[in-house]
Chains A and B, each alone.
Chain A
C-alpha cells in the first residue's frame, strides 16, 4: 500500500502537495488516523513521492505562459516515487496524474500501481471560457471551476468578463463603468476579487486571459461612460438607443488608451482578448456623423473598413503596453491589419476547418472553439461529439498546422449561472481536455467512456 509521505520542498509546490494530499486521502470514509492500517499487510510500500524540478528557473514565483513547459516524468516504484519536471507547471500536471493513480481498496488501503509515465501536452493552449456578463458568477463558482480545470489539465481561463448585459469589472480609473453597468453593487468583481482569481489560477498553472470585447457587445459600457457608444439615428433624429463603440471620436481612443493601461497592469498574462466579434453596422450606418467620417476617410460604404480602422487603433494601443492579443475570427475575416503574432480564435461552426486553413495559411496563430460551444446542450451523450473533434483535420501544410496552438471549451452565460454551471460544464468539458492534451491517436470512445465515468466520480 501507499502511505502518504513528505514531498521534497519547493515553495509553491507545498500548497499544491497539500491540496493533492487532501484529494487523495481526505475523502476516504475509512481513513485511519494512524500511520498504519489495522492488520498491516506485508506488501511493498510507497513511502514518499519526490518532486524534482530540473530547470534553474523553476517558475515557482512567476506566472504560467504559452511557452511554459508542462511535461513531466513520473516513476512509481518501491519505496520512493519520483516526479520530475522541467518547470513547476509540469510538476502540477504530474501531481494531478499521480493523484489519479492512487486508489483505495475495499479495506481502506491506498494502492498505486508500479508505473512509468512520460507525459506532455499535445497543445499548449487548453482553455475554458466563462461568461460573467450574461449572468454574474460569484467568486466561489469561478474558483470551483478553476479546481475542476486543474483536474482536467486545462491551463487557460478565458474570462469573458463584460458584455452587453452587464459590466461587473470594477475599474480603478473608471469606477462608473461598474457603478452604472453592473447588475447591482453585489454583482461586481473588485480588484481584490480579480487578484484572488489570478492567484488561485496561478497556483494551478492556469493563465487568466481577460476578454474586453469591443467594439460590439458593449451596451453595458455606455451606462457609465457617456459618449463612448455610437448614438443610433432614425432619419435626422437620435433614437435614444446606442450601438457599438463610436470609432470616429478621439475621446473613444483616449478612453481606450487609459482603460487598457489599467487592464494591462491588472492582468499579468502576456495576452489580452480584445473580442471584435458580431459588430452590427446598422447603427453606424444610421449616424450622419459616422457617414460623414466614412466619406472623409474614403471608406465608401464598406463598414468593414471602419471596423478595421477601429480595431487597428485598439491593437496599437494594446501593443504599446507590450501585450499580445487574441481576437475573434471576424477581425481576421474583415481584413483588419493584424500584427503577425495575433492569435485568431475560430468560433463560427460553419466550415470551421476551412477557416482554420485560411487563418493559418495567412500565417496567424489560431485557437479553436467552434465545435466546443458547451452551452449548446442537447439530450444524450454529447461528450462523444466533442471528443471526436480532430483539431488538425483541416487542409494545410505541416507548418500551418503548427500554428494551431490549441482550443477552448466555451460556456456562454445566457442560460447559465451559479445554480447550474458545474453540472452543465462538467464532465463534458473533460472530453475537450483530453482531446487537447492527449495524443492524436487516443480516440477510442469505449475506452474513453470507462475512464470518463471513473474520472467524473473522482471529480465529485
Chain B
C-alpha cells in the first residue's frame, strides 16, 4: 500500500550497554575495544565490555545508517561481533618540520576515530623546530620554535589534544627523539649538543646530544620528568633513530672519553651508553618506552618490555627486521611500508592495504609480539594546507 513506510517499524533509540562502567580513565594498550551490535525490528543494542568498545561500536553504527531518496534514515537488520586484530593502531604526525595548528591536530583525531585508529604518535620536536613549550625549560621553545608566540604548543594546548583524543578512545604517545634529531634543542639549552670540530677547532656547528657530560643527564632527567607528567600515557617514544656519528668522532673530548671507557672506535657503544642511561631515567619515572629500530639494530641493552618500532626498508627488508625483533623477544610496531608522506601517482592505497604485518618467518609466540603498526605522515612537505588530502 502506498502509505506504508517501506522500512518497517521505526526505531528511535540505540541502547548502549557497557559492562565495566567508568568513562574517566585513559585508554591503554590493554584496553578492550570489542563490541556487539544487534539491529533488529524495534531494537537497537550496542554492548561492549568497556567504554572504548562502545566508541568503536558507535562508529560502526554511524556507518550503517543510510538515507533514502525521500530523506528517511534507515538501517538494515544486522548482527555484528567485532574486535580489533591489533591493539596498537597508530598515526604519526610531525609538528617539527612544519608547525600544525591545533585545529589540524584535532581534525586529524576526528578522522582517526572514523577509522578506528587509537594511537596518536606525536613526533612533536626534531631538528627544524621545537614547538613544545616546557615549563621547566622555557628557553627551549623560546629559542627553538619557528616563532615563540605563534608556533608553539602550550601546556593548555597539549591538555586539549589529550582530552580530545581520550574522548575518542585515542592514546597520545609523545616522541622526544634523542640523541639525534635534536638541533632545535641547542639554542635553548647551551651545552646540550655536541660541538663539532674541524681539526683542532670547533666548527661552529652542532651534532647529537653530548653523551659524555653529566649535565646532559641532569637535563634529560628534568625534561622527561616534566614530559612524563604532561603526557599521561604509560608509554613515551624516545626516538633513537639516525644518529650521525661524524660529529662525535670529530670532537676531541669525546674521542678521549671513548678511549677512557674502552669503546675504541665503536661509536655504537657510545650511542648505547647514552640510550641505556636514558632508558633507566624513563623507567625510574614509571614509564614504558618505544624506540626506533636502530636502538635494537645497534645492540643497545634494552629492557624486555621495550617496544621496537620498525621503519626502515633497507639494508634489511622490514619483514626480516620484524622477524629478528620478535625472535629476540621484543614487541614490535610496523611502520616501514606505511610512510604516507612518500606520495606517488595513482591508487597507492592498495599497496598499503596489501601489507600483511605477520608475513614473516616465525613461531606463533613471535607473531603475538607484533602489537600493531602506525601510518606516518612526516612533515618535510606537509603543513595545514595539504595535511588532510595527503593523509586521507
Contact = CB atoms under 8 A, between A and B. Distances in A.
B389 A379 contact: no
B345 A375 contact: yes
A423 B386 contact: yes
Contacts of A423: 385-386, 389-390
Contacts of B346: 415
B311 to A, nearest CB: 16
Nearest to A422: B385
B199 to A, nearest CB: 29
Contacts, number: 31
Contact of B385 (A375, A376, A379, A460): A460
A380 interface: yes
A379 B342 contact: yes
Interface in B346-385: 346-347, 381, 385
Contact of B341 (A379, A381, A415, A419): A379
Interface in A409-451: 415, 419-420, 422-424
Interface string A356-377: 0000000000000000000111
A378 interface: yes
Nearest to B345: A376
The winner among A379, A422, A460 for most chain B CB atoms within 10 A is: A379
Interface size class for chain A? 10 to 19
B385 A377 contact: no
Provide the main secondary structure of the chain A interface: loop
B48 to A, nearest CB: 33
Interface residues of B, number: 13
Nearest to B342: A379
A456 B313 CA distance: 33
B385 A378 contact: no
B316 interface: no
A377 B342 contact: no
A377 B344 contact: yes
A380 B342 CA distance: 8
B389 A419 contact: yes
B19 interface: no
Contacts of B390: 420, 423
A216 B218 CA distance: 72
Nearest to B388: A419
Contacts of B385: 422-423, 460
B344 A378 contact: yes
Nearest to A414: B346
Interface in B322-356: 341-347
Contacts of B343: 377-379
Contacts of A422: 385
B376 to A, nearest CB: 13
A420 B387 CA distance: 10
A378 B386 CA distance: 14
A67 to B, nearest CB: 37
A421 to B, nearest CB: 9
Contacts of B344: 377-379
A424 B343 CA distance: 11
Shortest 8 CB-CB contacts between residues of A and residues of B: A420-B389, A423-B386, A379-B342, A376-B345, A419-B389, A377-B343, A423-B385, A379-B343
8 contacts: A378-B343, A379-B381, A419-B389, A422-B385, A423-B385, A423-B389, A424-B386, A460-B385
Given A377-B343, A380-B381, A423-B386, 7 more contacts: A376-B345, A378-B343, A415-B345, A419-B388, A420-B386, A420-B390, A422-B385
